[in-house]
C-alpha cells in the first residue's frame, strides 16, 4: 500500500491555509492522515507522476484505487479541514445512498476523511448549456429532496428557518459594524425575507434535505456515462440525471428553494447584456420550475443569501469583485439594481480575481 508520505499539495490550497497556525497544522498533517486512511482501507494512490490531487476551497481530494478491498475500484479520498459543514457531509451522503449524489464508501470522522465514488472531475454542469443544465439540475434536486424520517442522521443538520432567524439578528448588527456598506433598503429587503420565510419555514411541514451549495461545478458526470472522445463534447445529446451526481453538499433541512441561489451567482457572464436583470429572474424561474419549486420563494431566499454573502465579503475586504457580484445579484433580485456596479458580465466568478 502507498503511504502518501510525499503527497503533493495543490498550491492554491497551501496559499489559503498557510496564513494561520491551525491551517498550517492541517496542511502539515495531510500526508500522515492520507497514509493512515490508505492503510486502513487498503488503498493505493492513483495519481499519475507529477500530477496534483484535486481540491476545493476546504479539502483535498486524492484519486485512489482499492481493487483488492471490497471491490471499491477507482475512488477518491477526500480530507477536509475541520469545520461544521465538513462534519455533517457524511450524514447527508449516507442518507442519499448514491441516489443523486456521490456514493459514500467509507468515512473516518476523526480524520475528517471520506472515501467516495470517483466521478469525472472534467465534466460538470458548468460546461453544459443552461437549458439542458436546468433539466439535469432539477431532476437531481427532486432526488436529493428527501423527507425526514426516523434515521439518526437527520439530527445532525441545521434548519434553514433557524438560519433565517439568526440572520434577522446578525445582519443589521454586521451592517452597522461595517459602516453600512450598501443602502439600508437592500438590508431591509433581506430582513423581510428572513422574517417571512423563517416563520413560514417553521410551520410549513415542507422540510427536505437540501444541498445548499448545488452550483454547476458541484454536479459531476459519472465516468461510465461520460461523453466519448469526439462525440458531443458538451454532453447534451444524451445528457440525463442518471449520468450526474452531486458533491460537497453543505446539507441543511428546510425549504428546497434555498438551493437555487448558487446557480444565480455563477455563470453570470452568460446573462443577456440587453437586460441582465430580467435574464437573472428568468434563470431563477427556469431552474426552480425544473425542480418543481416555487420561483418566488427561490428568489426571496437567493436575495437573503446574497446579502449575507455581501456582508461576509465586506468584512474581509473583497471590495473589487466578490462584494460587487453579491450586491448586483441581491439588488437585481430585489428589483432595484444598485448603481455604480460593474456590468454582470464583467464581474468575476466566485473566488476569482476581479477583472
**pLDDT digit string, tens, across residues 310-332:** 999 999 876 678 999 999 999 99
**Are 92 and 153 a contacting pair, CB within 8 Å?**
yes
Q: Is the pLDDT of residue 78 over 70?
A: yes
Residues 164 and 112 in one domain: no
Q: Report the pLDDT value the prediction gives residue 348, as an integer from 0 to 100.
A: 86
Q: Are 327 and 343 in contact (CB under 8 A)?
A: no
- Cα–Cα distance list, 267 to 129, 264, 307 (Å): 11, 7, 19
CB 75 within 8 A of CB 115: yes
CATH number of the CATH domain containing 17: 3.30.200.20
Higher pLDDT, 201 or 123: 123
Q: In this model, does residue 204 exceed pLDDT 60? A: yes
Q: Verify that 213 and 244 share a domain, yes or no.
A: yes
Q: Are residues 212 and 317 in the same domain?
A: yes
Same domain, residue pair 127 and 235: yes
- CA–CA gap between residue 285 and residue 279 (Å, rounded): 10
Check whether residue 183 and residue 285 sit in a common domain: yes
Number of domains comprising the chain: 2
pLDDT at 49: 86
Write phi, then psi, for 320 (nearest 5 degrees). -75, -40
Whether 4 is in a domain gets the answer no
Instruction: Examine residue 205 and state whether it is found in any structural domain, yes or no.
Output: yes
Range of the domain at 56: 11-118
- C-alpha to C-alpha distance for 235 and 228, rounded to whole angstroms: 9
Joined together, the cell numbers standing for residue 269 give: 457572464
| Judgement on whether residues 164 and 209 belong to the same structural domain of the protein | yes
Least confident of 19-23, 29-33, 139-143, 204-208: 204-208
Same structural domain for residues 79 and 166? no
Count H helices, E strands: the chain? 10, 11
Q: Which of 88, 118, 148 is the last residue of a domain?
A: 118
| pLDDT at position 236 over 60 | no
- Tell me: do 126 and 102 sit in the same domain: no
Q: What band does 5 get if pLDDT is binned at 50, 70 and 90?
A: low
For residue 104, the surrounding DSSP H or E stretch is strand 104-108
**Arithmetic mean of pLDDT, 267-271:** 96
pTM of the model: 0.91
Question: Residue 317 has what pLDDT?
Answer: 79
Q: End of a domain among 118, 133, 166?
A: 118
Q: What pLDDT is recorded for position 71?
A: 46
- Which region among 53-62, 263-272, 283-292 has the lowest average model confidence (pLDDT)? 53-62
Residue 351: Cβ-neighbour burial (10 angstroms; 0-12, 13-18, 19+): exposed
CA distance 72 to 309: 39
Q: 120, 213, 286, 308: which is the annotated catalytic residue?
A: 213
Active site residue 213: yes
Burial of 225 (0-12, 13-18, 19+ CB in 10 A): middle
Kindly state whether residues 165 and 294 are assigned to the same domain.
yes
Whether residue 256 is found in the same domain as residue 276 = yes
The answer to whether residues 84 and 218 belong to one domain is no
Share of the chain above pLDDT 90, in %: 77
81: left (phi over 0), alpha (psi -120 to 50) or beta: beta
Lowest mean pLDDT among 248-257, 287-296, 340-349: 340-349
Amino acid at each position: 500500500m502507498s503511504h502518501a508520505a510525499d503527497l503533493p499539495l495543490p498550491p492554491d490550497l497551501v496559499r489559503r491555509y498557510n496564513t494561520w497556525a491551525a491551517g498550517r497544522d492541517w496542511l502539515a498533517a495531510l500526508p500522515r492522515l492520507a497514509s493512515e486512511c490508505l492503510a486502513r482501507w487498503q488503498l493505493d494512490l492513483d495519481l499519475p507522476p507529477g500530477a496534483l490531487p484535486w481540491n476545493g476551497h476546504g479539502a483535498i481530494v486524492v484519486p485512489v484505487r482499492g481493487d483488492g478491498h471490497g471491490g471499491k475500484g477507482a475512488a477518491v479520498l477526500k480530507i477536509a479541514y475541520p469545520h461544521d459543514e465538513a462534519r455533517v457531509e457524511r450524514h447527508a451522503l449516507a442518507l442519499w445512498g448514491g441516489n443523486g449524489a456521490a456514493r459514500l464508501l467509507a468515512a473516518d470522522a476523526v480524520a475528517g476523511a471520506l472515501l467516495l465514488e470517483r466521478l469525472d472531475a472534467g465534466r460538470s454542469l458548468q460546461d453544459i448549456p443552461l437549458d439542458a443544465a436546468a433539466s439535469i439540475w432539477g431532476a437531481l434536486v427532486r432526488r436529493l429532496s428527501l423527507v425526514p424520517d426516523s434515521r439518526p442522521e437527520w439530527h445532525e443538520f441545521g434548519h434553514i428557518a433557524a438560519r433565517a432567524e439568526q440572520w434577522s439578528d446578525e445582519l443589521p448588527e454586521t451592517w452597522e459594524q461595517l459602516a453600512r456598506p450598501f443602502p439600508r433598503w437592500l438590508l431591509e429587503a433581506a430582513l423581510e425575507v428572513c422574517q417571512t420565510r423563517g416563520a413560514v419555514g417553521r410551520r410549513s411541514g415542507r422540510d427536505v434535505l437540501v444541498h445548499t451549495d448545488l452550483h454547476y461545478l458541484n454536479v459531476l458526470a459519472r465516468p461510465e456515462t461520460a461523453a466519448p472522445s469526439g462525440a458531443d463534447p458538451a454532453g447534451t445529446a444524451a445528457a440525463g440525471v442518471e449520468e450526474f451526481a452531486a458533491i460537497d453538499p453543505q446539507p441543511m433541512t428546510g425549504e428546497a428553494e434555498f438551493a437555487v441561489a448558487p446557480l444565480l451567482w455563477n455563470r453570470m457572464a452568460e446573462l443577456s447584456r440587453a437586460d441582465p436583470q430580467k435574464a437573472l429572474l428568468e434563470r431563477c424561474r427556469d431552474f426552480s420550475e425544473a425542480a418543481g419549486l416555487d420561483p418566488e420563494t427561490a428568489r426571496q431566499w437567493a436575495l437573503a443569501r446574497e446579502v449575507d454573502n455581501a456582508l461576509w465579503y465586506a468584512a474581509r475586504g473583497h471590495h473589487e469583485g466578490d462584494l460587487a457580484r453579491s450586491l448586483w445579484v441581491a439588488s437585481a433580485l430585489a428589483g432595484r439594481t444598485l448603481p455604480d456596479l460593474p456590468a454582470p458580465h464583467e464581474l468575476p466568478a466566485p473566488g476569482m480575481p476581479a477583472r
